Amino acid sequence: MSFKELQLCTPLLKAIADEGYTTPTPVQAQAIPYILSGRDMLAGAQTGTGKTAGFTLPMLELFSREQNPQSKKRNIRALILTPTRELAAQVGESVKTYGKYLPYKSAIIFGGVGANPQINAINNGIDILIATPGRLLDLINQRVVNLSHVEMFVLDEADRMLDMGFIRDIKKVIALLPAKRQNLLFSATYSDEIKKLCESILKNPAIVEVARRNTSSELVKQSVIFVDCKRKSSLLGHLIEKNKWEQVLVFTRTKHGANRLSEYLTKMNISSAAIHGNKSQGARTKALSDFKANKVKVLVATDIAARGIDIDSLPHVVNFELPNISEDYVHRIGRTGRAGNGGEAVSLVCVDEFDYLKGIEKLIKKTLDKSTIEGYEPDPSIKAEPIQQGRGGGSRGNSNHRPKSNNNSSPKKRDSSTHNRDRNRR
């Protein structure tokens, strides 16, 4: 993916080249097409992911696509609300940098400094306003700022806004915006409050989520264990017990797979809960709070359900099944290794999933460490079968989720010294 493929105009491409950017970051590649299509968007992206260019570039592009941009009187057509003056300054800098070959004007307003230069800048006519909520409301009350022409509204670092107690100010600002507008909301985490805010602001939003730029490579120890599809459950139980994992987020491809696996683990006396789209909000919230409070060791989740998980430093993520979309792998492992803590991401891969594995390695530009665990080696006579979407674990269906008691791979019977050795080998 190149910036040119994102359909950006030459003045923007030139500014991007001046910055030395060669390829869009994941949030840019995902968000820019949605924004250009005019959709509202909810983006889970932190500072450091390139999110600012992710909304600034398409904003400028949309303005530049208008027929007679110069014939319009300058009105504030985009409002970017940020929680802090530092962020406002940074975003304002980005707007200037990316827009340097375009004719649009912007101003940055925040409290703690004299208002006059800000008032003058606005009075000279601007297209884009970057503001913190308090100073914005002051200048609205002084009739310096008029928001009635805003076409695009960006709420940046919405979670921090709420943490800082800006919810009432945000609501006051929103009440002054025209009903017809495009809304973009960025947040690194999703609390219930953020969800409520999204529901009140966004209409049918596109959802974009990216891991931190460095998660795939630096902080997370990633590995693959080859195992037959039908033995994955017992291998997972074994890994959890043997390595004494206390907090593990496990991803399955389907809701049924999540339920079955959670039931299996519970039967093995490994406390576990499943969260997915079929569960009520109450059940999901409870599962998550039990998991956070270390009351359950294992949370089994589907990709969509995991979007709501805002735990900062999960030690272990397991891909019980590889995702069919390679980017989801990066999102999944982005759940660990956060906040500077190391993390471990283990993928249990069966013969059906080799193509997915290749796709992931291509995306992350890295060959993953691969191993087998003694007692769980794949049977070489099993041939790959196509994975049917909507069913867990391939066409074989991962049906064997019951704990086995008479099998030497049973967690209760395994030889611990062997498994420790295996683990060390990995």
Any idea what DSSP says for residue 197?
Answer: H
95 binds ligand AMP (CB under 6 A): no
DSSP string, 328-365: HHHHHHTTBS-TT--EEEEEEE-GGGHHHHHHHHHHHT
Cα(315)–Cα(341) distance, integer angstroms: 8
25 binds ligand AMP (CB under 6 A): yes
21 binds ligand AMP (CB under 6 A): yes
CA nearest neighbour of 239 among 191, 297, 296, 285: 297
Among 6, 12, 24, 110, binds ligand AMP (CB under 6 A): 24
Of residues 44 through 63, those in contact with ligand AMP by CB under 6 A are 47-53
- Which one of the spans 41-49, 133-141, 312-320, 327-335 is the region binding ligand AMP (CB under 6 A)? 41-49
Cα(345)–Cα(222) distance, integer angstroms: 5
414 binds ligand AMP (CB under 6 A): no
- Which one of the spans 21-29, 169-177, 182-190, 326-334 is the region binding ligand AMP (CB under 6 A)? 21-29
87 binds ligand AMP (CB under 6 A): no
CB of 99 to ligand AMP, least distance (A): 14
Smaller CB separation from ligand AMP, 48 or 178 = 48
CB of 213 to ligand AMP, least distance (A): 8
With CB under 6 A, what is the number of residues at the site for ligand AMP? 11
Instruction: Report residue 183: phi and psi, to 5°.
Output: -115, 135
1 binds ligand AMP (CB under 6 A): no
CB of 152 to ligand AMP, least distance (A): 17
Cα(419)–Cα(90) distance, integer angstroms: 51
CB of 24 to ligand AMP, least distance (A): 5
Three-class SS of residue 81? strand
CB of 381 to ligand AMP, least distance (A): 47
B/e letters for 55-77, b = 16+ CB within 10 Å, e = fewer, are bbbbbbbbbbeeeeeeeeeeebb
Cα(321)–Cα(319) distance, integer angstroms: 5
- Which one of the spans 20-28, 149-157, 202-210, 302-310 is the region binding ligand AMP (CB under 6 A)? 20-28
Cα(118)–Cα(107) distance, integer angstroms: 7
Give the interface with ligand AMP as residue ranges (CB under 6 A). Answer: 21, 24-25, 28, 47-53
